[in-house]
Structure 1
Amino acid sequence: MPCKRNGFSLIEVMVSLVILVIGLIGIFNLHIMSKQGSFESFQQTQASYFANDIINRMRLNVSELSNYGSPAGTHYSGELLVKPTECSGVYRCSTTELRAWDLYEWQSSFIGDSEVDSGGSIGGLPSPTACVYVNSNDVVIVMTWKSVRKFNGTNENYSDFVKACESSGATRRILEIETAIF
């Protein structure tokens, strides 16, 4: 007499387990890519904030506009400028002192020196460089930083000024803002 089979065979269980594991790996990979994209979006938002911060500081101190940058471009990176006279609170600063304070505050923000926890920097952008180009009333701010993912594109379409702002490298991201200040 033929015997009657009940339940799943071991092979069917193994196949369904493999399919489940592949699906879970796919979901996990999708989650990681989503986190990386979210973090890159956050970095882009920070870079935009820092660029607009210095533009607004320049608008408030128009008489010193040409000294915030130069036609050749002025580079600011990981080494903090010497701390100038503090222009906050009740102390009244000259426009030159205010420019020096603006640049110091701005640079300490984007390199993360203004946000420190347990002795380490927790704010700013990773490995940032900022370049300021000022020619008459035209202003270009370029922010570059290190990203978590590699960039598959090319920097060939950027101007020489942007290329000179430490923008080369597979993981470097670039934000460029052009404006006019009157």
Structure 2
Amino acid sequence: MVAVVILALGLLGLAGMQAKSLSNDLSAYNRSQATQLAYDIADRMRSNVTVLANYITPSPSTCPNNTNPCTACTTAVLTCTPAQLAQKDLFEWNRNITATLGNGATGTISNPGGAFFTVTVSWDDDKDPVTGDLNFAMSFGP
């Protein structure tokens, strides 16, 4: 009887450790995805340096709908201006943030001064609206 109780407690502990492991695994996956998304927009900005100011998003931006604002940038022959390309890049970036990190995930790009930009990706890691969201931030220079 005592052995059964000890075995049951051990199995409950094992189940708890497994659940915590899965939670940490998802958290690590989300962090790596946020890192990739931040580097993605940084690379897009570096390839379109003539209109870097067009990438700045002073407040968290989300993808409000699934309509690309610049269809001229999606054809085989690019006929869009650098400003339109920046608009398309932001649309695709925000869509990728939402698709990868879930609804409510946001991205911001700021230029606090000087030649460096800060990219921040925020998401709700624990799906708890009470606790604060996690974020990944990086600074880079074009």
Q: Are the aligned partners of 1:130 and 1:144 in contact in 2 as well (CA < 8 Å)?
A: yes
| 1:43-54 matches, cutoff 5 A | 43-54=30-41
Q: TM-score, normalised by structure 2?
A: 0.87
Name 1:178's counterpart in structure 2: 139
Write the distance in 1 (CA, Å) between the matches of 2:63 and 2:12: 39
Residues 1:74 and 1:33: Cα distance change in structure 2 (over 3 Å)? same
Name 2:106's counterpart in structure 1: 129
Is 1:144 paired with 2:122? yes
Is 1:97 paired with 2:89? no
Identity %: 23
Q: Which amino acid aligns with 1:21?
A: A
Write the distance in 2 (CA, Å) between the matches of 1:110 and 1:63: 25
Alignment gaps of 5+ in structure 2: none
Name whichever structure is richer in helix by fraction: 2
Q: TM-score, normalised by structure 1?
A: 0.69
Residues 1:83 and 1:149: Cα distance change in structure 2 (over 3 Å)? closer
Q: Shift of residue 61 of structure 1? A: 0.2
Alignment gaps of 5+ in structure 1: 1-13, 113-122, 151-167
Write the distance in 2 (CA, Å) between the matches of 1:63 and 1:137: 13
Q: Shift of residue 96 of structure 1? A: 1.1
Aligned residue for 1:111, secondary structure, equals helix
Write the distance in 2 (CA, Å) between the matches of 1:25 and 1:108: 40
Which has more radius of gyration?
1
Write the distance in 2 (CA, Å) between the matches of 1:74 and 1:81: 20
Q: Are the aligned partners of 1:46 and 1:125 in contact in 2 as well (CA < 8 Å)?
A: no
Write the distance in 1 (CA, Å) between the matches of 2:114 and 2:49: 11
Write the distance in 1 (CA, Å) between the matches of 2:50 and 2:35: 24
Write the distance in 2 (CA, Å) between the matches of 1:140 and 1:80: 25
**Paired residues, number:** 139
- Cα offsets for 1:121-153 (capped at 9, x unmatched): xx3334211111024521001111101277xxx
Residues 1:61 and 1:44: Cα distance change in structure 2 (over 3 Å)? same
Provide the alpha-carbon RMSD of the alignment.
2.1
Name 2:4's counterpart in structure 1: 17
Residues 1:21 and 1:171: Cα distance change in structure 2 (over 3 Å)? farther
Q: Shift of residue 38 of structure 1? A: 0.2
Higher relative contact order (CA 8 A, sep 6+): 2
Write the distance in 2 (CA, Å) between the matches of 1:78 and 1:103: 9
Name 1:160's counterpart in structure 2: none
